[in-house]
Amino acid sequence: MTRMGFFTDTSICIGCKACEVACKEWNDVPDDGLNFLGTSYDNTGALGADTWRHVAFVERPRGGSAPPSSPPVNGQDAGSSPAADALDTGSAGVRWLMSSDVCKHCTHAACLDVCPTGALFRTEFDTVVVQQDVCNGCGYCVPACPFGVIDKRESDGRVWKCTLCYDRLKSDMTPACAKACPTQSIQFGPLDELRDRAAGRLGVLREAGVSEAHLYGADDNDGVGGFGAFFLLLDAPEVYGLPPDPVVTTRDLPRMWRAAAGAALALVGAVAAACARPR
């Protein structure tokens, strides 16, 4: 089937957190505490077992050009870009960067490589999903994820993350977060179409002088083979808490296993030679 995914255009994200609420409501994700972290208006902090969508609020020094009006999305006029206001809000000398983060549904997913039970699997839509009735809570996938997405829920010991609303996809429905997004910052559809749309949006921003705008995760030649959920960012990835150069953490496993097998064979040979030596 056609690979489906997300394109998150952070230049029109207003930080409303409708995606977080819709994700929790549809997927019955527990309350994550809603704690005041004391650093920004971001009350969830990061992705986790109880936060499958996380809207980051990043405070940055004011400056640069504000993005122009957003181009039509899905045939509809998205109106003026909320990012134009977001870049100019806050106290003197400060602007907001907002981005709704989610599981990247990597092309080469390390979590799949390390799962011993097959609880993690790739769906017919080329997304990565955890089967909760198969997960044994070993946690191998948690450190394997280069983005820190997968997390173990303390209440039951199993791991949880975004499923890209697999149940909705099977019913030909839009994922809850994209359905709820009022600015269409989160866009859902065939991945190839989303990449073309993102390239067009990037061109508009670059022509308007927003030189720092770039696509993150849209390149098949990156360290994980591209994302199934990629982003248009207005600053460096690390500003948003994302790794600048993600890699498949299991990329060296074949070489390591070959080296281990070679060492084991050498040890067996040495023991056999020692035993065969006349006494």
Residue 40 confidence (pLDDT): 64
Nearest by Cα to 107 from 271, 219, 193: 219
Q: In a 10 Å sphere around its CB, with 0-12 CB exposed, 13-18 middle and 19+ buried, how is residue 106 labelled? A: buried
CATH node for 4-240: 3.30.70.20
Is pLDDT of 77 > 70? no
pTM over 0.85: no
pLDDT 10s digits, 141-160? 999 999 999 999 988 999 99
Q: Is 19 annotated as belonging to a binding site?
A: yes
Q: Is 17 helix (H, G, I), strand (E, B) or coil?
A: coil
pLDDT 10s digits, 188-227? 999 999 999 999 999 999 999 999 999 999 999 888 999 9
Place of tokens 């050498």: 266
Q: Is 181 annotated as belonging to a binding site?
A: yes
**Which of residues 77 and 239 earns the better pLDDT score?**
239
Is pLDDT of 75 > 60? no
Residue 125 confidence (pLDDT): 96
Q: Is 275 annotated as belonging to a binding site?
A: no
Is pLDDT of 82 > 50? no
Nearest by Cα to 141 from 25, 256, 248, 33: 248
Residue 19 confidence (pLDDT): 96
How many CA within 13 A on the CB side of residue 228?
22
Q: Note whether 167 and 127 are within 8 A (CB).
A: no
How confident is the prediction for the chain on average, in pLDDT?
A: 84
Q: Which residues pair with 231 in a beta bridge?
A: 8, 216
Nearest by Cα to 201 from 17, 67, 83, 94: 67
Give the 3-state DSSP-derived string for 139-183, with helices as H, strands as E and coil as C: CCHHHHCCCCCCEECCCCCCEECCCCCHHHHHCCCCCHHHHHCCC
Give the 3-state DSSP-derived string for 43-112, with helices as H, strands as E and coil as C: CCCCCECCECCEEEEEEEECCCCCCCCCCCECCECCCCCHHHHHCCCCCCCEEEEEEEECCCCCCCCHHH
96 pLDDT tier (thresholds 50, 70, 90): confident
Which of 57-66, 142-151, 232-241 shows the lowest mean pLDDT across its residues?
57-66
Is pLDDT of 134 > 90? yes
Residue 106 confidence (pLDDT): 95
Taking residues 223-242, report their average pLDDT.
94
Is pLDDT of 273 > 90? no
**Which of residues 83 and 270 earns the better pLDDT score?**
270
Q: Is 9 helix (H, G, I), strand (E, B) or coil?
A: strand
Residue 222 confidence (pLDDT): 87
